[in-house]
A and B are shown apart, each in its own frame.
Chain A
Amino acid sequence: MTKPKTTRFDTLALHAGARPDPATGARATPIYQSASFVFRDSDHAAALFNMERAGHVYSRISNPTCAVLEERISALEDGVGAIAVASGQAALHLAIVTLMGAGSHIVASRSLYGGSHNLLDFTLPRFGIETTFVDPRDLDAWRAALRPNTRLLFGETLGNPGLEVLDIPRVAGLAHEHGLPLLVDSTFTTPYLMRPFEHGADLVYHSATKFLSGHGVVIGGLLVDGGRFDWGEPGKSAGKFPTLTEPYAGFHDMVFVDESTTAAFLLRARREGIRDFGACMAPMTAFQILQGIETLPLRMQRHVENTRRIVAFLAAHEMVESVGYPELPQHPDRALATELLPRGCGAVFSFSIRGTREQGRKFIESLRIFSHLANVGDAKSLVIHPASTTHFRVSAEDLRAAGITEGTIRLSVGLEDAEDLIEDLSRALYAAGKA
């Protein structure tokens, strides 16, 4: 049987979007550290500005190094294109403002990164965009929260910090039933563990600061368009997304769905969102994220291997009250995780230690290899106490709903030798027990 000529994931992680530099032969992707790019002549300049020719004008709008990264993540996610932005938060903001304005409504999982929760719960209402938060496991709650002005459903592939596995097929099905797109934060899983578009999601974003980079030296975000959503489907989405289906006075009355059947969202996000809000990625940052993505498959395998060993160690430890990892038999999403995340459930998880808040403090301060900081997805192992840091502004009620207690500790398991990590945790648990 004739087989299609397709390039596989690990090869795409190294090569997608890049080719040897035609000017110098450089094999690594060059860092095009230039604010702007010379026009061949006046006609070329006008054509670039008016989207009649492909190319770069100004690095806020696009940049050759960033474009390689954008193609690479698109290839890995099986999307049609992407935009590299200043941070994961910028990616979430860009997705929302590309789709809607004042008077719109979002339905979101309540198990979100604290920064995302801040944007939706406290900041966007000031601009007329409201959000209803729901239990990500409760499809009826998603449905009940829908309003006539709802424009987006949003969740994380793995909830933060409880690791609720988002049932993307069912939530996407509900969204599509109502002519709405599903946006997914895929930071914790990366395309190596799950490709949300294959399960029905329409837009994906990453904090590229985390596993995609792996080195923890840059801040960056990536917003990917799956290219499958029909923004003007009669009886469904028609009329809901005028930013994409109506003439845009800010770009010569361009109708974005007329320009691109598959990537209208991406066009508007670049031609308006990046142009006007300006949260672009620096080319040096893109280069560093590209270096990380080259080893993403290898790193994610090791992250998951180490995590599984540590989860097993903690689950059997007398000082540990509970461990929340979707591969464990008692986790409510185990079956869903088996279906959606067969390669593993990532390397970020939470557990609760027995005892007082003081014992929790002693545990964190006794760790020697795990670094106490606010980040995840580094090559180095990390630890944090969510209730006093990342989720500090979340109400006690919402904390409980998100499964966070005073004793909850979140780990991001790195690439060190698993035995060293287990010894570090063992020592700190012993110290906590004595406190």
Chain B
Amino acid sequence: MRCDVAEHSAYAYTGSRAFDPALPTVVFVHGAAHDHSVWALQSRYFAHHRRNVLAVDLPGHGRSGGGPLPSVEAIAEWLAALLDAARIEHAALVGHSLGALAVLEAAGRHPERVENIALLGPAVPMPVADALLDAAKANDHLAYELITGWSFAPGHQLGGNQQPGVWMIGNALRLMERSQPGALYADLVACHRYAGGLAAAGKVRCPALLILGQRDLMAPAKNAAALTAALAGCRVVTIPDCGHSLMAEVPDAVLDALRAFLRP
């Protein structure tokens, strides 16, 4: 699906389904230098189980126009504008990493429009290592290699994908290599500078789910402790032997957690 958001064409994967105003909507938001396809299995499941799905490409990512947005707050406002453009009053928001921060911020800013939030691999704050920032700023391939090396749990560095025949490491590298120059750096800076996470959490009025990878090095599970405390009554699912690339490493466990949480 395409619609114009903030003067640029935005793309969202819908699971090959037409939008049905009678159905609830789930919006999936990807992380740094990614696109909608990181949610392929989970978003397709909901699209075929009585939900509208919008797995978005953020501005400057995938097929969406414009440039990467400079801050988590800007992405949160873009998500609200996307709901306006798609004429969606309320939606559940699901985000990964940078996308999780944007979902959190959007739920704090627009509590009346957000029915549920699911945050995968969140950390508040989410500092980014200088070496990674420097490589991303230089558009150095090293940045993709560092992220890939840190994003998969040790057991998954050698594969063993639940999805037959797909090499997760190669897939992750190829996806980031397709991002436009500067996109990764902009995304990482947005993560690094975001300071409003706990304040946003205090304003959230909807049910919240955190899905954490026990072996996450990019956003260690322990760094979600303050967020967990600030999100009153939130559910936390910690997945063992899993890193930061949760949707790829443990697609079924992620789907099961989302299904249990978003069940009508």
Contact = CB atoms under 8 A, between A and B. Distances in A.
Interface of A: 1-2, 4-7, 12, 15-19, 47, 50-56, 61-64, 66-68, 70-72, 74-75, 78-84, 226-228, 230, 247, 252-255, 258-263, 266, 270
Contacts of B161: 17, 54, 67, 71
Nearest to B130: A2
Contacts of B146: 2, 4
Contact of B16 (A82, A228, A254): A254
Contacts of A51: 40-41, 44
Nearest to B166: A81
A4 B176 CA distance: 15
A19 B160 contact: yes
B164 A261 contact: no
State the 4 A-B residue pairs at the shortest beta-carbon distance, nearest first. A5-B149, A4-B145, A74-B167, A62-B164
| Chain B, interface SS category | helix
A261 B165 contact: no
Interface stretch (B69-77, B85-93, B150-158): B150-158
Interface in B194-253: 251-252
B174 A54 contact: no
Interface in B19-37: 35-37
B142 A53 contact: no
A258 B166 contact: no
A260 B40 contact: yes
B148 interface: yes
18 contacts: A4-B148, A4-B149, A6-B149, A7-B158, A18-B158, A18-B160, A47-B45, A52-B41, A52-B48, A53-B41, A53-B45, A68-B159, A71-B167, A83-B165, A261-B175, A262-B174, A262-B175, A262-B178
| Chain A, interface SS category | loop
B62 interface: yes
Contacts of B159: 16-19, 68, 71-72, 75
B37 A262 contact: yes
A102 B191 CA distance: 50
B262 interface: no
Interface in B117-151: 129, 131-132, 142, 145-146, 148-150
Nearest to A248: B16
Nearest to A51: B44
B177 A62 contact: no
A42 to B, nearest CB: 13
B251 A50 contact: no
Q: How large is the interface on B (under 10, 10 to 19, 20 to 34, 35 or more residues)?
A: 35 or more
Contacts of A82: 165, 167
Given A15-B158, A53-B41, 20 more contacts: A4-B142, A4-B146, A6-B149, A47-B45, A51-B41, A52-B41, A53-B252, A54-B163, A55-B162, A61-B164, A67-B164, A75-B158, A79-B167, A81-B166, A81-B167, A226-B174, A228-B177, A258-B13, A262-B174, A263-B171
A52 to B, nearest CB: 4
B170 interface: yes
B83 interface: no
Nearest to B255: A53
Nearest to A67: B164
A4 B172 CA distance: 14
A51 B132 CA distance: 34
Nearest to A73: B167
Nearest to A70: B165
Contacts of A75: 158-159, 167, 169-170
Nearest to B259: A43
Contacts of B252: 53-55
Contact of B167 (A4, A80, A254): A80
Contacts of B157: 5, 7
A63 to B, nearest CB: 8
Contact of B131 (A2, A67, A266): A2
A270 B16 CA distance: 19
A16 B171 contact: no
Contacts of B164: 54-56, 61-64, 66-67, 70, 270
A12 B142 CA distance: 20
Given A4-B149, A52-B44, A79-B167, A259 B37 contact: yes
A16 B251 CA distance: 19
A262 B36 CA distance: 12
Contacts of B150: 5
A50 B44 contact: yes
Nearest to A55: B162
A81 B174 CA distance: 11
Most chain A CB inside 10 Å of its own CB: which residue of B48, B169, B178: B169
Interface string B53-95: 0000000001000000000000000000000000000000000
Contacts of A270: 164-165
B35 to A, nearest CB: 6
A253 B16 CA distance: 7
A225 to B, nearest CB: 9
Contacts of B40: 51, 259-260
Contact of A6 (B36, B145, B174, B177): B145
B158 A262 contact: no
A259 to B, nearest CB: 5
Contacts of B129: 2
A281 to B, nearest CB: 11
B242 to A, nearest CB: 14
Nearest to A47: B45
Contacts of B62: 261
B190 to A, nearest CB: 21
Contacts of A6: 145, 149
Contact of B178 (A15, A67, A68, A261): A261
B164 to A, nearest CB: 4
Nearest to B145: A4
A75 B40 CA distance: 21
B158 A80 contact: no
B251 to A, nearest CB: 5
A226 B158 CA distance: 18
Contacts of A228: 174, 177
Contacts of B45: 47, 52-53
A247 B14 CA distance: 13
A220 to B, nearest CB: 14
A415 B7 CA distance: 65
